[in-house]
Amino acid sequence: MEMMPLTLLFSCFLSMAISPQDVVDPVGGEGDRGILSFRIEDQDGKAVPGRLTFRNTDGTTPKLFSNRHANPQDLAIRADVICTLSGAGSITMPTGNWQIYASRGPEWSIQKHQVSIENDQTISVTFSLEHQVDTRGWAAADYHLHTLTHSGHGDSNMPERIISIASEALEVGVATDHNIHTDYTDIISQLGAQDQFQGIVGNEISVPLGHFNAFPLVPWADVLDRNASDGPTLFRAVRANGDSSGIVPVIQVNHPRWDGIDYFRVAGLDPLTGQSVEKNWSVDFDSVEIFNENAGWGYYDADSTDKQVGSSRHWVLQDWHNLLNHGARITAVGNSDSHTVSSNLAGWPRNYFPSSSDLPAEITAQEVCDTVKEGQIFTTLGPFVTFTVDGASMGSMVTAKRAAVVLKTKVQAADWIDVDRVLVIVDGDIVETIPVVQSREIVRLIDSRKIPIRTDGWISLRVEGDDSLDPIVPGNKRPILPIAVTNPVFVDADGDGKYTPPVEVAREWLESYGGDEIALHAEWQARQPNQRAAMLLASTVDSTTSRTLARWGIHDPARLVQLTACRMIEGIGCGNDEKIHARLVSMATNADADPWQRVVALRALPRQDAGDFIADMLRNSGMKAFGSHSAQITRLLPGQWVMKWSATDPFPGHGESGLRKILAMPSSERPIMREVLAAESGIVNLQKYGSEHGLNENCVVVLQCVLYSPDDREVTIAVGSDDGCIVKVGNQILVEDFAQQGVDPMRHLVRASLQRGSNSVEFLVENGGGAYGASMRILDDEVRIAQVGAPQRSQSSRIDPRQRITSDMAGIGAAAQLYFLDEGHWPRSLSELMGEGRFPVPDVDPWGNQYLLQSSSTRFTILCLGADGSEGGDGINADIVSQH
């Protein structure tokens, strides 16, 4: 839909009557400038807070203002934006021709004026804005706002945050700085903004588990544990820390799929099943951000859309649908997460909730919290939408009559905001699309229609427009489109007086249908994709019915159904069914499949089959075949990571020359000194290791291990390093990589020829600066890995002697196992095991005494004689024995 021309109502005249002391200088520095005297007023002629957005005449973004601190009591200034609390003032501007837009949030009209600024001249402009959208009985809230003052990043200080909130006509702003209870009260009072909006004390609890907003809170209360990693424990603690009036705080999950701070991933929420088996998972939260930031991250499916999705993973909107379909009453919200004045604007998106008063000062924290917890809100990037289902509003339940309900919808939007369609959602599926006639009237749609509903379920709306909100809400990464999402009305379709969620409805139907495949097929055909997915999720046990549904599911035209069927097959373990297996192989190897489809299908296959396909794909396409989901396929790979290495101390050296110099050293000049362990991901943190041992930049560390092969064979080895590396197996140099790079565990997939028995591995890793690490995986289930070398720890080592001895004995024991596989008998002594450098294991204990190794035809024993080096004794002199 094309944007209609704006009606420009302004007054403009030249004047020299403004006193110099009344002029604010946001331009700063030197250069020609004039003066802009501006006034933003409402339809009654009253000056109101608002935002001025400046553009070049060609629509590009200028950098006009560098003095951010001009008049901080009234203005929040950035290069191309000025927010004003009073709505009027006089400012300097560089000479030239400029477009100026005045705005005041999505409920109000906007106005544009083109001005010509001449040196030492004053131009006066009045912008007349109209409150166009009828929001009586509703209030607008942003539940996620930051300041540089307390969060430590971004650019908005406390006064600027207050001014920016007021300029977007928000009635409620929740302060949610990271790990601090921020209170806007004093700053609001100092600025005289008490009538503009209601500030609520909150905190973005930012912990390893994820980021969570809690509000309202007592400003002076203790901040919760910053290292929290358990959902049930954290959420209980939040509930117990309400404000002074006894309100139990709202818990809001922020950007739950934003890579690195994503609660849903950390706590194992499956994006297809909507469930987690992890102990740190809890669904005891009230709301989840389905929109985050001005871009609305989370609304689009990151796995299939061609739109920019930032660092998002999967599809938060579908996560919310899944939770609802399992019966979790979680409220969808959208927030700006604004840390800045202009690059990510406050109040876009925002939430509307039914309010007891249209005066912000009279809105209570209790009603703000209650409306979130009861699901009575909708979230929006522009459109204002209200609806009822048989008279029931959001968050409530209604009993259906005659297998249908009456949906009544009203959509409003300011005349500069586009609206093209309303999507009717039942249980997550779009069941109807209501087109919106092209118009810039404020009321875009009034509609009443019957919606069939066969079973208990929920109904919500999505509103979409196709024209961007630029320049009022500029898209830094992609165009920002008008979108709104409502929370649902719950429908009791069977008249039993209660609401049963879709997955439970499906489970009850499957338990009672009697095994009639004709009836099963009829039910399947009658269902929409999310409802079919519910049938699959309800089938948790391998049975004839489950396998029938699985076959239908993987051939279903709907992507969601296919993926959910794969996950169901994985869960019940029927991927080897010949009627299922072939389709899974086709899905996994289809060149047109997206990475998530490929990964989900591979997971549903038997592990050996999946591992073989993955190894082939890695050799042919590398990690790009799996996109951002590569971590999910590593557990399907054959073989194992090298988890324990023997390592030299860091040597000075850098780049190719440094690596080759260390490689050329005789092994006697680079003795193994210590053991170093890989993380669960298989990556060794050499930056930490180097810091502990004298050098972590412009250095080279040599890692060693031994591969035992049951016969002569070719194996694939996956190698990653940060930065460059040389990998040598036996006498073969497999990798020479001298790039400056991060660790990609699958960067190199190389073939190595192993001989029967032991094969030495040397992995030289260099670092020029910054992060430093390495990883190696042997893609063969029959090849065994052992640590080699003698991790000699100094007498000043802080490691507990018994921990050291346990580790040493484990290394000796692993080497003895490999010796047995080579020779057919146990080594008769430690010197025999270590002969000619074959297995250079630890040979002395923490007190400098020799370990002893004794063996018979059936077993071997490793012995440490304690600190005194003699048999018997107590305490640190006691003998330690490890029998195998």
Domain end point (choices 498, 529, 547): 498
Question: Given this model, what pLDDT does residue 793 score?
Answer: 41
State whether 332 and 417 are in the same domain.
Answer: no
Any domain includes 743: yes
Percent of the chain surpassing pLDDT 70? 96
Side by side, which strands form the sheet with 210-215? Answer: 203-207, 210-215, 250-253, 287-292, 331-335
List of residues 6+ apart from 369 with CB closer than 8 A? 215, 216, 247, 248, 249, 250
Q: Which amino acid is at 875?
A: G
The residue among 424, 437, 429 whose CA lies nearest residue 463 is: 424
Any domain includes 755: yes
Any domain includes 793: no
State whether 44 and 63 are in the same domain.
Answer: yes
765-794 residue pLDDT tens: 999 888 899 999 998 989 989 876 544 443
Higher pLDDT, 398 or 691: 398
State whether 445 and 589 are in the same domain.
Answer: no
Higher pLDDT, 429 or 476: 429
Average pLDDT over residues 5-17: 37
State whether 553 and 602 are in the same domain.
Answer: yes
Number of domains in the chain: 6
The residue among 752, 865, 757 whose CA lies nearest residue 819 is: 757
State whether 122 and 164 are in the same domain.
Answer: no
Query: H or E element: which one contains 384?
Result: strand 384-389
Domain end point (choices 380, 415, 438): 380
Any domain includes 3: no
Side by side, which strands form the sheet with 852-855? Answer: 852-855, 860-864, 880-883
Give the DSSP letter of residue 178.
B
List of residues 6+ apart from 805 with CB closer than 8 A? 845, 846, 864, 880
Phi/psi-derived region of residue 352, left when phi > 0, alpha when psi is between -120 and 50, beta in every other case: beta
Helix (H, G, I), strand (E, B) or coil at 318: helix
Q: Which amino acid is at 560?
A: L
Q: Which residue has the tokens 């008490």?
A: 194
Pick the most confident of 4-8, 18-22, 158-162, 226-230. 158-162
Question: Given this model, what pLDDT does residue 838 score?
Answer: 67
Could you give the count of Cα atoms lying within 13 Å of 151 in the half-sphere of its Cβ?
25
Average pLDDT over residues 18-40: 87
Higher pLDDT, 34 or 840: 34
Residue 841: give its domain's CATH number. Answer: 3.30.700.10
Whether pTM > 0.75 for this model: the answer is: yes
The residue among 677, 676, 678, 671 whose CA lies nearest residue 648 is: 671
Residue 237: give its domain's CATH number. Answer: 3.20.20.140
Does 456 have pLDDT greater than 90? Answer: yes
Average pLDDT over residues 513-531: 95
Higher pLDDT, 799 or 336: 336
State whether 837 and 695 are in the same domain.
Answer: no
State whether 181 and 274 are in the same domain.
Answer: yes
Any domain includes 796: no
Instruction: Return mean pLDDT, the chain.
Output: 90
State both tokens at 732: 């073969």
What gap in Å lies between CA 89 and CA 37, rounded to an integer? Answer: 6
Residue 719: give its domain's CATH number. Answer: 2.60.120
Helix (H, G, I), strand (E, B) or coil at 653: coil
630 pLDDT tier (thresholds 50, 70, 90): confident
311 pLDDT tier (thresholds 50, 70, 90): confident
* Domain, as residue range, for 321: 133-380
Q: Measure the N-to-C terminal CA separation of the chain; round to a whole number of Å.
A: 77
State whether 706 and 828 are in the same domain.
Answer: no
Which range is least confidently modeled, 335-344, 430-439, 450-459, 768-777?
768-777
143-194 residue pLDDT tens: 999 999 999 999 999 999 999 999 999 999 999 999 999 999 999 999 999 9
State both tokens at 116: 């010509």
Q: Which residue has the tokens 């009209």?
A: 109
Residue 523 phi, psi (nearest 5): -65, -45
State whether 746 and 830 are in the same domain.
Answer: no
Question: Given this model, what pLDDT does residue 1 score?
Answer: 33
Kind of pairing between the strands at 457-464 and 378-380: unpaired
Any domain includes 823: yes
Any domain includes 795: no
Question: Given this model, what pLDDT does residue 19 score?
Answer: 56
Domain end point (choices 564, 592, 627): 627
Any domain includes 854: yes
Query: H or E element: which one contains 264?
Result: helix 263-266
Question: Given this model, what pLDDT does residue 609 score?
Answer: 87
Count other Cβ atoms within 10 Å, centred on residue 433.
Answer: 12
Average pLDDT over residues 471-484: 93
Question: Given this model, what pLDDT does residue 836 score?
Answer: 63
Rounding to the nearest 10 degrees, give the CA dihedral for residues 47, 53, 56, 62: 130
Question: Given this model, what pLDDT does residue 791 score?
Answer: 47
State whether 478 and 510 are in the same domain.
Answer: no
Higher pLDDT, 726 or 622: 726
Cis upstream peptide for 840 (omega within 30°): no
18 pLDDT tier (thresholds 50, 70, 90): low
Question: Given this model, what pLDDT does residue 795 score?
Answer: 36
State both tokens at 270: 């499956």
Question: Given this model, what pLDDT does residue 800 score?
Answer: 65
209-258 residue pLDDT tens: 999 999 999 887 777 778 888 999 999 999 988 777 889 999 999 999 99
Average pLDDT over residues 828-847: 79
DSSP H helices, 392-448, are none
State whether 753 and 861 are in the same domain.
Answer: no
Does 461 have pLDDT greater than 50? Answer: yes
Residue 783 phi, psi (nearest 5): -85, 130
Average pLDDT over residues 844-857: 86
What gap in Å lies between CA 143 and CA 394, rounded to an integer? Answer: 19
335-372 residue pLDDT tens: 999 999 999 999 999 999 999 999 999 999 999 999 99
Contact 747, 725 (CB under 8 A): no
State whether 702 and 610 are in the same domain.
Answer: no
List of residues 6+ apart from 444 with CB closer than 8 A? 383, 411, 412, 413, 419, 436, 437
Please count the residues of the chain.
884
Residue 219 phi, psi (nearest 5): -55, -35
What gap in Å lies between CA 764 and CA 736, rounded to an integer? Answer: 10
